[in-house]
Amino acid sequence: MASKPLTGKQVRFLRGLGHHLNPVVMIGRSELSDAVLRSTEAALKAHELIKVKLQEGCLLDRREVAAELAARCGAQVAQILGKTFLLYREAEEKKITLP
């Protein structure tokens, strides 16, 4: 399911929503393991917008991890800030209405 790219206005809206979120997926030494993919899929299905945090053990570049995880989960990267990033994927039952 390929979704259309987010507009600048939509990205700003999602960043505002994501500001107060706590990370629900942590990526550490195992990096992009099957367990990380499963937990990311479940979190996106439940919340649409999630925050992911890279821990000290993760040696991969944050931008590469964000892009790879988004591609594998059919999501889009809304923001990369430090060692955290926001992923968004529209759900069957929408919780977030984009502008």
Reported confidence tier of residue 58, pLDDT bands at 50, 70, 90: confident
Look up the pTM and report it.
Answer: 0.89
Domains and CATH numbers, the chain: 8-88 (3.30.110.60)
- How confident is the model over 65-92, as a mean pLDDT? 93
Confidence (pLDDT) at 11: 93
Q: What is the DSSP string of 20-63?
A: TPPP-EEE-TT-S-HHHHHHHHHHHHHHSEEEEEE-TT--S-HH
Which residue carries 């990526």 as its tokens?
27
Confidence (pLDDT) at 70: 94
Confidence (pLDDT) at 37: 92
Per-residue pLDDT tens digits for 20-55: 999 999 998 888 888 899 999 999 999 999 999 999
Interior/surface letters 28-52, b for 16+ CB within 10 angstroms, e for the rest: eeeebeeebeebbbebbeebbbbbb
Q: Is the pLDDT of residue 85 over 80?
A: yes
Give percent of the chain above pLDDT 90: 65
